[in-house]
Structure 1
Amino acid sequence: MLKFIPTPIGNPQDITIRALREFEKATLFLCEDTRETKRLLSILAKRFEFIIPKAEFLSFHEHNGKARLLEISERLNSENVVFVSDAGMPVISDPGQILVEYCQQNSIEYDVLAGASAVVTAYASSGFEEGKFTFWGFLPHKGSERSAELHKIMNSDTNMILYEAPHRIDKLIDEIASIDENREIFLA
């Protein structure tokens, strides 16, 4: 059975006991980046009573996801397969979407464990009073498409959450200020 397992978004101690147990049973890890997953498992093994399984680790990301599905499709029903992102909840702004869609279309059973979500953590940390928000994921990297998306976000009357790569944060702040220099923002 396939399990989507959230990983800590900062503090390794935020991992759940259930996630550790699922990791121990896994025969196949599908990872956004195998190096990041192996590094996390090594940290978890040192801090907790956790045994790193003798499992296969395969990359599964936006560039190889569809091809990788052809390679592993039979194993999704017959093995303990886990999908992990580098940090946070799998499938949210993440290549795991392809995998969920494939499972739904092919009647393959899967489970999503509860856990860390940067979206919810950021909103809870913001202190914004209104109880609703819209999540936009990542903006396009550049061009008119990025500008159009940002204008949509800025013209909304609800709180908006979006992801941005650390090296583009300054650019995003400048773009927001050029649209509305008085806009209240919260960076998390």
Structure 2
Amino acid sequence: MIILGATPIGNLGDASGRLREALASAPVIAAEDTRTARQLLRALEIDRQVHLVALHEHNEEAASPALVERARDEDVLVLTDAGMPTVSDPGFRLVQTAVAAGVAVTCLPGPSAVLTALALSGLPTDRFAFDGFLPRKAGERDRFLERLAREERTVVLFEAPHRLAESIDAIARAMPERRMAVCRELTKRYEEVRRGTAAELLEWAQTGVKGEIVLVIEGARPALTDVDAAVQQVLRLKQGGMRLKDAAAEVAEATGHARNALYQAALGHPPA
């Protein structure tokens, strides 16, 4: 069968007993990086000869059929560099191919940066969404965050440390009052979780934060009014002397509608 093995995201002590057993016995290991897999075997003091096969984002589609056929006769253990295969890591296409071919797939549960950050965030965990990495280009990222501002579930994202300050600034503009947590170096020696609004976290992010980063953002409040009624609220506040931008932000926070959507609608909408 195909065996998906969750590997430590930092602390080697998080390697499960089942993972250790699979590492010690699987005849084939398909690894995102074979060098990292060998390092893991050495770190866990597993001294054996094993057939290692590279399985990464550039070759997964081509390599999957042969691995699935091999899994008909012997176990193929799938590893990524850290965490759960298929979750923002290779493995999904392999599982798809195995399912289509009728080859069994199982999973050795274990470390996950997504779930660890969610649990530590202090934000609601009953409903959440994972959206991978934020878009790299500023325009695409801003449009993504505009849509995200309407998401009512807690959202978990990955981000590269060198883009953190720029992304926190963009989140502060799209969701100025929304709570969030920035989780750094999870399960490692210098694990750190910073909580607050994006505006409150921006100065810290600009100091040059390093390490693996996970962002957790509070969901939007459920919309209590329809969009036309919300726009009318914005216009009434504007008539009362408030700047349109501030009025849109206040009504967005109260109703759950996106601030920019209310602002744009109010620009060309006469008051009732």
Judge same fold: TM > 0.5, yes or no. yes
Matched-pair contact (CA < 8 Å) for 1:32–1:59: yes
Q: Which whole-Å CA distance do the structure 2 matches of 1:72 and 1:128 have between them?
A: 40
- TM-score with structure 2 length normalisation? 0.63
1:72 to 63, 67, 72: 67
Matched-pair contact (CA < 8 Å) for 1:25–1:80: no
Matched, 1:136 2:131: yes
Determine the structure 2 residue equivalent to 1:48.
Answer: none
CA deviations over 1:111-140 (Å, ceiling 9, x no partner): 111111111111110111452211112233
Matched-pair contact (CA < 8 Å) for 1:2–1:111: yes
Q: Which runs of 5+ in 2 are unaligned?
A: 184-272
**SS where residue 187 of structure 1 aligns?**
strand
Q: Which whole-Å CA distance do the structure 1 matches of 2:161 and 2:47 have between them?
A: 31
Deviation at 1:69, TM superposition (A): 1.9
Matched, 1:154 2:149: yes
Structure 1: which amino acid aligns with 2:136?
Answer: H
Runs of 4+ in 1 over 6 A off after TM superposition: none
Count, aligned residues: 183
Matched-pair contact (CA < 8 Å) for 2:31–2:37: yes
Q: Which whole-Å CA distance do the structure 2 matches of 1:104 and 1:181 have between them?
A: 44
Task: Please say which structure displays the higher CA radius of gyration.
Answer: 2
Q: Which whole-Å CA distance do the structure 1 matches of 2:32 and 2:7 have between them?
A: 12
CA deviations over 1:155-181 (Å, ceiling 9, x no partner): 222211111223322221121122233
**SS where residue 18 of structure 1 aligns?**
helix
- TM-score with structure 1 length normalisation? 0.89
Q: Which whole-Å CA distance do the structure 2 matches of 1:67 and 1:130 have between them?
A: 37
Q: Which whole-Å CA distance do the structure 1 matches of 2:90 and 2:148 have between them?
A: 23
Please tell me the root mean square deviation across aligned C-alpha atoms, in Å.
1.7
**SS where residue 131 of structure 1 aligns?**
coil
Matched-pair contact (CA < 8 Å) for 1:23–1:52: no
Deviation at 1:25, TM superposition (A): 0.9
Please give the residue correspondences for 1:38-77 in structure 2 after superposition, counting only pairs within 5 Å.
Answer: 38-45=38-45, 51-77=46-72
Determine the structure 2 residue equivalent to 1:8.
Answer: 8
